[in-house]
Amino acid sequence: MHKASDNELLQEAKKNVSQCDRCGTCLPVCPLFGVKDVELSSARGKNAIVRALAEGGIEPTADVLAAVNFCLLCRACVETCPSKNKTDEAMVNVRQYLINQGGGPSVKYKTIGSFLKSRGMVKIAAGALSILRKVGLNSVFPNGMVPEEYTRAHFLAAFAGPAALGQKVPPSGLVVTASTKVAYFKGCGMRMMFPQASAETLKILKTTTQVMVKANVCCGMPHLAHGLRGEFLDLAKRNIRLYEDVEAVVCDCASCGGALKHIAHYFSEDPEWKDRAAAFSRKVMDLTEYLVKVGYTPRQKVDTTITYHDPCHLVRGQNIEKQPRDLLKATGKFVEMKEADTCCAGAGTFHIDYPEISSKIIEKKRRNIERTGAAIVVTGCPGCLIQLTKAAKASGGKFKAMHISQVI
């Protein structure tokens, strides 16, 4: 398996942002710059680091690692850059480079990596949580709400850091008919943190067709985010093989969906896997993407005000923003919130690694939700849902946070 050499990584990163002319357009859209307004928070600052590293103007120090880690990979900068510099991809490349320099991923992420690689271990974690529910603590944790007490381990186990997703993938061109073989991809986040929502997704899918549920492994995004590129590729191969007899793979997690759609990109130079990976990525659809394609009508219409938060990996990673809104408009009184597509600062473990910054950002989100008067804020990503649930709690119960499958 080809392992990118260190210098190649740096040069790749430099290429990602080579058209940066330091204009400054990225500064006002960066959620991190919005709460910590020093130059290093911004994409411009990060691009300068990348260039200087690649040209030998600065040394790869701990400060530099901290600076490149301090990025949500939300792509707000990429979207707004007049030259479309890809700062998020550069960050992933530089992180990999720095990790290689430092002798490999930190122990913490190696542990998470092996945890998530093993389907068995992920199932046990999910089981532990479901036991909590079985013993009647279910009423304390209503549908879609995260348990009040959660350990850092649960989260580290669930997600390990934000992850970049390369080019924005266009919506799926797949034509879905009554005879299309459809499978549900059960991601680790949904499985462990929001099993009820995952069950709802399956219920919904079953009303549209006969759905297959296979023993999939982790989509590998957490591994990619933290320098375990090799592991990501292994997991990808296992999932590719698993779904080879299926024509559509539907996913209710924005991050998993985005990662799975990008698998083709990561194998584009591999003569053995190139075509199989491309065929697999073409099958992947987000839940909302699939439901709109098959003309799904929500199970009920309610007289409730609903608003929506765009997961970064859906709106900017997969170009999906209309479908969830169309489904919600058919469900209740939909109202658009300000900055609906601004990152919630969940970003994997970002909210654990940078709790203060993350709270400041989610504070802004809470105010925006409250301003809409919505009773429910809906999203399509478990990572976002964790943050939105914190916001719901901070609002003193003014609104609830739910996964879209629990609402439509």
Partner 1 sequence: MIKEEIKKKIRDIVGSENALDSDLERFAYSYDASFIPLLPANKPDLVVRPLSTEEVSKVMAIAYEYEIPVTPRGISSGRTGGSIPIKGGISLSLDRMTKILELDEKNMMVTAEAGVRTFDLYNYCAAKGLFYPPDPASWKFSTIGGNVAENAGGMRAVKYGVTSDYVMGLEVVLADGTLLQTGGKAIKNVTGYNLVGLFTGSEGTLGIITKVLFRLIPMPQKRRTLQIMFRTLDDGCMTIHKMLQSNIVPATAEIMDRTCLEAVARHRKLDLSPDIGASIVVEIDGEDDKALEKQVKQVETVAKACGSIEIRIAQSEQESDELWAIRRGLSAAVAALAPNRVGEDISVPRDSLPEVVRRIRSIAEKYKFTIAVYGHAGDGNLHPSLLCDLSNQEEAKRVHQAVEEIFKAALAVGGTLSGEHGIGTTKQPYITLALGEAGVKTLKAIKQALDPKGILNPGKIW
Which residues of the chain form contacts with partner 1 (CB under 8 A)? 18-19, 21-25, 27-28, 37-40, 45, 48-49, 51-52, 55, 57-58, 61, 63-64, 67, 81-84
Q: Tell me the one-letter amino acid at 256.
A: C
For partner 1, the closer of residues 67 and 352 by Cβ is 67
Label each residue of 298-315 as H, E or C: CCCCCCCEEEECCCHHHH
Structure tokens at 242: 């698993």
Min separation Cβ 89 and partner 1, Å: 16
Q: Is residue 185 within a helix (H) or strand (E), and if so which, with residue range? A: strand 182-185
Shortest distance, CB of residue 391 to partner 1, whole angstroms?
26
Q: Classify residue 336 by its DSSP letter.
A: P
Q: Report the nearest approach of partner 1 to the CB of residue 235 (Å).
A: 34
Whether 397 contacts 142, CB under 8 Å: no
Closer Cβ to partner 1, 13 or 182, answer by number: 13
Q: Which CB sits closer to partner 1, 61 or 268?
A: 61
Q: Nearest to residue 105, comparing CAs of 262, 230, 255, 263?
A: 230
To the nearest whole angstrom, how small is the minimum distance from the Cβ of residue 286 to partner 1? Answer: 24
In the complex with partner 1, which residue's Cβ is closer, 51 or 117? Answer: 51
CA distance 264 to 313: 17
**Closest approach of partner 1 to the CB of residue 228, in Å:** 26
Least distance from C-beta 337 to partner 1, angstroms? 20
Answer positive or negative: Cα dihedral of 72, 75, 81, 85.
positive
Q: What token pair was written down for 152? A: 């850092």
**Nearest CB to partner 1, comparing residues 67 and 375:** 67
Position of tokens 């190696």? 110
Q: Which is nearer to partner 1, 21 or 244 (CB)?
A: 21
Residue keyed to tokens 């439901």: 291
